[in-house]
């Protein structure tokens, strides 16, 4: 089992806020995500600026693309993104078109996706998915449930690199022990911490403690 990556999601309403969020924690994370809110607020200029700030880190454009995959992907790549996200209900031709134009593509799992669809993504050459904790569960005050963990394990066994997101704190990482998580995505858990650099370092140390044994 490899050591999971740590990704910071920048879901700010402006580029300046995003830059402020990332400036302290940035050096300690593996992957920088230009969140959907930020993409829609500032356009691809946000990708360009984060690439300029972090020339060597993996940059993800979280477009949750549903259509016009080729065009959206090319635009993100041109702006400096390495990877891009598509939504799970996009059609296979849309995903394939996007995959041609980016270094890698991630399918965002929302709503009623099926493992049959997941097999089709694999067949289409897609190797990454992002598993979100159910928002309904989050609103109902629940944490990650056994059903989530079973699905994560199954996706991993199918051959996917699985990223995990949704209300993650460093205290919650233990829940995923024994699962081959590719990346943990944290947003407010790092960006809105009193000391974002320390928060990022503590996340990394906890990942190392659990998966580095």
- Angle subtended by helix axes 92-99 and 69-79, to nearest 10: 30
Q: Strands 83-87 and 58-65, how do they pair?
A: parallel
Burial of 6 (0-12, 13-18, 19+ CB in 10 A): buried
Stretch that binds a second copy, among 16-24, 129-137, 174-182, 195-203 (CB under 8 A): 129-137
**Binding to a second copy by residue 88, rule CB under 8 A?**
yes
Distance of CA 133 to the CA centre of its chain: 12
Question: Would you say 92 or 210 has its CB closer to a second copy?
Answer: 92
**Binding to a second copy by residue 7, rule CB under 8 A?**
no
In angstroms, what is the minimal distance from the CB of 146 to a second copy?
20
Q: What is the tally of helices (H) and strands (E) in the chain?
A: 10, 8
Q: Tell whether the torsion through CA atoms of 161, 166, 170 and 174 is positive or negative.
A: negative
Stretch that binds a second copy, among 50-58, 69-77, 150-158, 197-205 (CB under 8 A): 69-77
Question: Would you say 54 or 113 has its CB closer to a second copy?
Answer: 113
Q: Which of 5, 11, 49, 206 binds a second copy (CB under 8 A)?
A: 11
CA distance 8 to 176: 18
User: Would you tell me how many other CB atoms lie within 10 Å of the CB of residue 101?
Assistant: 18
Q: Which of 2, 23, 93, 209 binds a second copy (CB under 8 A)?
A: 93
**Binding to a second copy by residue 52, rule CB under 8 A?**
no
Question: Would you say 18 or 207 has its CB closer to a second copy?
Answer: 18
Contacts to a second copy from residues 139-198, by CB under 8 A: 139
What is the dihedral angle through the alpha carbons of 137, 168, 38, 196, rounded to the nearest 10 degrees? 150
**Binding to a second copy by residue 17, rule CB under 8 A?**
no
Q: Which of 6, 10, 31, 39 binds a second copy (CB under 8 A)?
A: 39
Q: Length of the chain in residues, anyone?
A: 213
Residues within the interface to a second copy (CB under 8 A)? 11, 13, 36-37, 39-46, 63-68, 71-72, 75-76, 87-94, 108, 110-114, 117, 132, 134-136, 139
């Amino acid at each position: 089992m490899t050591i999971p990556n740590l990704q910071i999601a920048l879901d700010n309403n402006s580029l300046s806020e995003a830059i402020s969020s990332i400036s302290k924690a940035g050096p300690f994370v593996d992957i920088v995500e230009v969140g959907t809110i930020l993409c829609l607020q500032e356009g691809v200029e946000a990708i360009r600026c984060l690439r300029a700030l972090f020339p060597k880190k993996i940059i993800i454009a979280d477009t949750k693309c549903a259509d016009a995959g080729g065009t959206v992907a090319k635009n993100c790549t041109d702006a400096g993104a390495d990877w891009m996200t598509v939504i799970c209900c996009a059609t296979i031709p849309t995903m394939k078109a996007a995959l041609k134009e980016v270094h890698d593509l991630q399918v965002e799992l929302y709503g009623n996706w099926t493992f049959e669809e997941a097999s089709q993504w694999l067949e289409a050459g897609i190797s990454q998915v992002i598993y979100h904790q159910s928002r309904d569960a989050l609103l109902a005050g629940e944490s990650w449930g056994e059903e989530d963990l079973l699905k994560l394990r199954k996706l991993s066994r199918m051959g996917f690199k699985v990223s995990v997101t949704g209300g993650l704190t460093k205290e919650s990482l233990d829940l995923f022990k024994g699962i081959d998580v590719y990346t943990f995505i944290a947003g407010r858990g790092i960006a809105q911490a009193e000391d974002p650099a320390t928060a990022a370092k503590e996340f990394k140390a906890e990942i190392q403690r659990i998966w580095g044994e």
